[in-house]
Structures are given as structure tokens and as C-alpha cells.
Chains A and B, each alone.
Chain A
């Protein structure tokens, strides 16, 4: 991995793969296969501010979010509450966002995660600079990075 001013798709993918293999089991890897994301589902977002400003978001379907939560908490899928989902997905985006932040130049601060059912809109001043469409256990996983647009060249 290299330190740059903008995260590359490859670097973001490497971060996501590392988080997934460490906490969700290397035997069921997250695959670089786009699967259509139906409306609804869960979103978890974290904001980076300082030397590099960004919002990192992970989107999962309802079943995908439950798979993640039950695996991380080692509990039955039927036992996962919404509170469990919020906590597990918050930790997931915390790890993804924190490790993407470490690829960027300049000291920056990570916010506490925001998790909700449905979409989390990035700030209107942010544009999408990176999007990964992935599949885990047959369910789509979308990871996006939004940053402020580059300053206009005169």
C-alpha cells in the first residue's frame, strides 16, 4: 500500500479484504463481484477530518447485515437485535474507515460511526471518489469513499 492524497480502488479493496478476513472468516472471502443492491438495507458511515476529509460508508442488505453481526458476535442470526446490528456495523465501518485514513497523508481524526437502516447521505459538499461493489455470502456489499471535490483550476 502507498500513501497518497486519494485512495486507490486497490488499496480500499485491500483494507476491506483484511477487515473481512480478520473478523468475518477467511474461509468465506469477500468477492469482487458486483451484485445488485436492493433498496433498503443497512448503512454505516464514518467521517474523517483534518489532513484528509472524507466519508467512508459501508452498505449491506438486511440479510448481509445479520450475517456480519452474527459472525462477529458469534450468536445465532435469529438472536441479533437491531442494537446488535448497529454496534457490529459501527465497528466494521470504524475499522474500514480507520485503515483507509491511515493510507492518506496528513494527520486526521475519525468520528464515531453513524449506523442506520436505509441510506446515509454524504454531505452535499462531498463527491464519490471510490466505490467498491462486492459480494459476501451471496449478498451485495458496497463500500464508498466521498471527499470534497478538488479545487477548480482557473
Chain B
């Protein structure tokens, strides 16, 4: 499994990388939407993209619309991970094709739970 982490903050990419690496994912990082698109264009096929909203050059919302408009990447799961928490923006991102939406600050469990719901991580079964 492979995760593409897209955030202009190196700190946030590091935090997310630690979480998904613990789940067994390999990771690639991008500092904005354009850099992430370049990775996809060059053949990277991640299972999931974790996407910040506010980034220079290309924001996360534009990235989502660009990916969803291209058949090549129809199987890539898109999860927004952002401080943008207005209802209208959440609706906009989901309508554009994001599968999940996580608001910063988050706990590792919040990310893991969403990835379980998306079927990317096996759900823990209570003993």
C-alpha cells in the first residue's frame, strides 16, 4: 500500500508519515498540489492521497478536481486533512470527489479510523 502525503508543511508531512508508516504504508511526499500531480503523471499510483487544502502553487481542492477529472486515477482514494472546517468547504471538497475529510488538529486514531472506514486498513476486531 502506498500513500501520497500532500502538505506544504514538512512538519505535518512528517506527522502523517509516522502515522501511515505504522500502518504499513510506503509514502511519497509533495509540498503542493502541482508537485503531487507531477508524481501521478510520472507513474506513481498511490492507494490514498492525504491532502491539505491551503498550499502555494496548487491548493488541495484544485488537486482533487484535477485527479477526479482524469480516468487514470479513478481508483485513488482522496482524503482531505486540513484546518478548513467550514461546512460549505467540506461539502465542496466531498462533492468534488474527496472520499473523506479530517479536520486539523487530529489524533492518530482519527486518521486510522477514517482509513479503516475506507477499507485501506483492517479494522480492529474487539477480543
Contacts and interface: CB of A to CB of B under 8 A. Distances in A.
A22 B105 contact: yes
Contacts of A72: 11, 14-15
Interface in B4-61: 8-12, 14-15, 18, 54, 56
Interface residues on A, range: 20 to 34
B74 interface: no
Contacts of A110: 54, 83-84
A19 to B, nearest CB: 5
Contacts of A88: 9, 11
A91 interface: yes
A127 to B, nearest CB: 24
A98 interface: yes
Nearest to B9: A91
Interface of A: 18-19, 22-23, 69, 72-74, 84, 87-88, 90-91, 94-95, 97-99, 101-102, 107-108, 110, 112
